[in-house]
A and B are shown apart, each in its own frame.
Chain A
Amino acid sequence: MNQKLKESVANAAKALGNSLPVLTGVILLIGLVNTLVPKSIYSTLFSNNFLLDPIIGSGLGSILTGNPVTSYVLGGELLLQGVSLIAVTAFIVSWVTVGIIQLPAEATLLGKKFAVARNIISFIFSIIVAITTVFTMGL
């Protein structure tokens, strides 16, 4: 292995190694939230209010985390239970774009102000994206 490659491997290992404590913390936190918050309570949070439900959907998606597939399944179930498409879309979008649980990791590695601003902006945009998508479908 040449010297430059050794240095590159060492640099990458150092950068990832420094991030490991915070990544481990996030994964442990996800495990805790997954166990403590039963999925059955999700649908009870919606009130069939056209204005409030997208905000509730975004809020719920921001707090919860996991594979996007889980959000599709939960979103599909919420739709079947009569929750509006706008609220379900806001839920699916915020599930991936907003991350309250990952916020400490994002703040530590990418900067506190950036992490907070990005999550707030993404939260607002999850509602805008939901309204735009559903409105465009109706055209």
Chain B
Amino acid sequence: MGEQSYSGVYFLLSVLALYTLIGIFRIESILPSLIFSLSIFKNVIPVLVLIFGIMTAMDYYVSPESISRHLGKSSGYKKWVFAIIGGIISTGPIYMWYPMLKELKKQGVGYGFIATFIYNRAIKLPLLPIMLLYFSVQYIVILTLVMIIASLIIGLIFEKIEDRL
């Protein structure tokens, strides 16, 4: 188990300690919190299976050289297209995608791609009809376009500061 894995365990232990501490003062908050967390777990299991499938397929079919060539720092405009489309079509909570992005980083993908991918997770096409219940079409179209442009600017910023991270 590497250093990073240990820090994940420490984080989990810290959260459990926080539960214990809050439980001492507000025991009535613990059960609803656990029930809500359990409902999230149930929702993310299919996403976890999907991500496991994608990671397995990537490991099996796509070589690190190919990833580096298509998504790496010197792959030109193609990587931005992949980052935008990948971010938009990916489902589930963003933190479920961190392990896959970590693997891509190991294989030469830059922080610019990762930042753009994460930002485009905000654009969820299947949720647009729900958004229409509260906001106008004009607002949704403009917001979506502005966010795609913002994601590219953020990606370019991270390309510039990559060496300092």
A binding-site residues for B, Cβ under 8 Å: 4-5, 7-9, 11-13, 15-16, 18-32, 34-36, 68-69, 72-73, 75-76, 79, 85, 89, 92-93, 96-97, 99, 102, 104-106, 108-111, 113-114, 117-118, 121-122, 125, 128-129, 132-133, 136-137
Contact = CB atoms under 8 A, between A and B. Distances in A.
Sorted nearest first, the 6 A-B pairs with minimum C-beta distance are A76-B134, A31-B37, A22-B8, A96-B122, A12-B55, A8-B59
B103 A104 contact: no
B16 A113 contact: no
B8 A129 contact: no
A128 to B, nearest CB: 7
A11 to B, nearest CB: 5
Contact of A106 (B19, B95, B142): B95
A1 to B, nearest CB: 11
Contacts of A108: 4, 7-8, 11
A97 B142 CA distance: 17
Contact of B143 (A28, A68, A133): A133
B99 to A, nearest CB: 4
Contact of A30 (B2, B40, B142): B40
B59 A99 contact: no
Contacts of B119: 97, 122, 125
A45 to B, nearest CB: 19
B81 interface: no
Interface of A (DSSP majority class) = helix
Most B Cβ at <10 Å: residue of A31, A99, A108, A117 = A31
B116 to A, nearest CB: 11
Contacts of B154: 118, 121-122, 125
Contacts of A25: 8, 11-12, 14-15
Tell me if B's interface is mostly helix, strand, loop or mixed.
helix
A11 B121 CA distance: 25
B102 A15 contact: yes
B67 interface: no
A31 B143 CA distance: 29
A11 B59 contact: yes
Contacts of A7: 59
B143 to A, nearest CB: 5
A5 B99 CA distance: 19
Contacts of B16: 28
Interface in B139-162: 139, 142-143, 146-147, 150, 153-154, 157-158, 161
A34 to B, nearest CB: 5
Given A121-B115, A125-B150, 10 more contacts: A5-B56, A12-B59, A19-B98, A21-B11, A23-B95, A28-B34, A31-B40, A73-B134, A75-B135, A105-B11
Contacts of B138: 137
